[in-house]
Chains A and B, each alone.
Chain A
Amino acid sequence: MILFAIAIFIVLVALDFSSLRKEKDKKELTVYWVLSAVTLVYLIVLVSGREVFSPSEKYLEFISKIGLNYANWHGNG
């Protein structure tokens, strides 16, 4: 499964890179490699079955922790 997912990822990288190769812009390449690295890390974490860090989930958890949660206000937790 990990190998299959990584194979798909390599195909995606190759497809995007083929369009980027003509640009020869350093900034474009940097952004592209950073995004690829982030996606690869997420992919490995997802496939390995561990908890994926989700910014929106953490944000909503934070909102809930500071008391902004209707469930608490209704008095039923």
Chain B
Amino acid sequence: MSKNKISQVQLISIGTCYSLGLVLIAVFESSVTTNEVWLANMLGFVFAIPTLLVFFSLTKKFPGMDIFQMCIEAFGTFIGKIISAIYLLYFLSVCSFSLFNASHFLFYYIMPDTPQIALSAFMMITCVYCVRKGVLPIARVSILFLIVCFLGIGINTALTLIHAHFENLLPIGQHTLLKYVQSAHITSAISYGEMIFLFMLMPNLSEKANPRKVIIWNALNCFLILLLFSVREIVSLGPLMSYTTLPPYEGIRVIEGTNLLSRTESIFALLLVTLTFYKTTILFYISCKGTSDLFGTKTYRHYTLMLGALVVILTEKISRSPIDHIFEGTNVFPFGWTMLSLILPLIIVVTFSIKSAIKRKKGRLSV
């Protein structure tokens, strides 16, 4: 394997860490369908099939290219760069949301006397350090993070099962159809749609790797993670889950085994901070690389601190409160994210196919 290439397993583990970081903190769908969120998650996978098919098509038509190169290839340099700039803003925004979630969790649950902006700034400085090291160390560490996280999740899930109330999973069919559609749409647009970040790492993927397998494995992992967490929250919290801003954490807090096993939420807090930090690092790397690609510079290393400062400032104002964040996440985000993860990639595929067909026709006529 060449020096700067990441393997298929590494990219799958990056995607799984990303999904875990997303699922642990983004709990939009549980506020819509409460105890039936597991059902909505299954429906969400069905809703995500068109997105996954578009992703397959992108890997077939643009092998080894990132999303910026695909835009330029499909629309030409000028329009391609404009659409690339939109994607860059998208990645910067998702990075800011991720940093907001991580710093707000630390501020609200662990260090209430420390200003949130200070927590964001320190976390961002660490992200800058990691990003300057390049994508390879970030990819290598993902496997280690994944092992530790699965161990922690396993312990927490086993403890939750001691006091599980499986009757909380019933009754089903008590919401309106629109609520199920909304919840499934949230799952498909956010949990699966954000997998578009994988395309920014495709140029770093080794030649032996199969990008389609990476997408399939990440989608399956995401599905299993969503199902596990939704069932765990329902059986531990029941109707209480619609009253909390962070059900996965509150679900662990109610575990009371013996005196020896109390305060097990510290394991979860550690996992949450680790995974949201990892997710922020990946998104920040993509934003830095995207800025470098957009402006055609040799390296992104010179302005990582500047971009980091910009992300911290955006984080400070990106959401007024977690309640607002949940409201936007349940009502508006799914539409915005669908545009960027399904509609725009679909337009890229269709435009490229038409261009290729015209080229082929011209070629045949000239022969």
Contacts and interface: CB of A to CB of B under 8 A. Distances in A.
The answer to whether A and B interact is yes
Interface of A: 9, 12-13, 15-16, 19-20, 23, 25, 27-28, 31-32, 35-36, 38-39, 42-43, 46, 51-52, 54-57, 59-60, 63-64, 68-71, 73-74
A27 B96 CA distance: 27
Given A35-B307, A35-B310, A38-B310, A52 B316 contact: yes
Contacts of B307: 35
19 contacts: A12-B306, A13-B306, A19-B301, A27-B297, A31-B291, A35-B303, A35-B306, A38-B310, A39-B306, A56-B96, A56-B318, A57-B317, A60-B332, A60-B333, A60-B336, A63-B332, A68-B332, A71-B327, A74-B178
B182 interface: yes
A20 B302 contact: yes
A63 B92 CA distance: 18
A64 B332 contact: yes
Interface in B299-340: 299, 301-307, 309-310, 313-314, 316-318, 327-328, 330-336, 339
Contacts of A31: 291, 295, 297, 303
B309 A39 contact: yes
Nearest to A14: B305
Interface SS, A side: helix
Most buried by A among B92, B299, B305, B328: B305
B182 A70 contact: yes
Contacts of A69: 331-332, 335
A51 to B, nearest CB: 8
A28 B96 contact: no
A69 B336 CA distance: 10
Contacts of A70: 178, 182, 330-332, 334
Contacts of A38: 310
Contacts of B96: 56
Contacts of B364: none
Given A46-B316, A56-B318, A16 B335 contact: no
A74 B316 CA distance: 31
Contacts of B295: 27, 31
B93 interface: yes
Given A56-B96, A63-B335, A28 B310 contact: no
B306 A57 contact: no
Given A63-B336, A69-B331, A23 B302 contact: yes
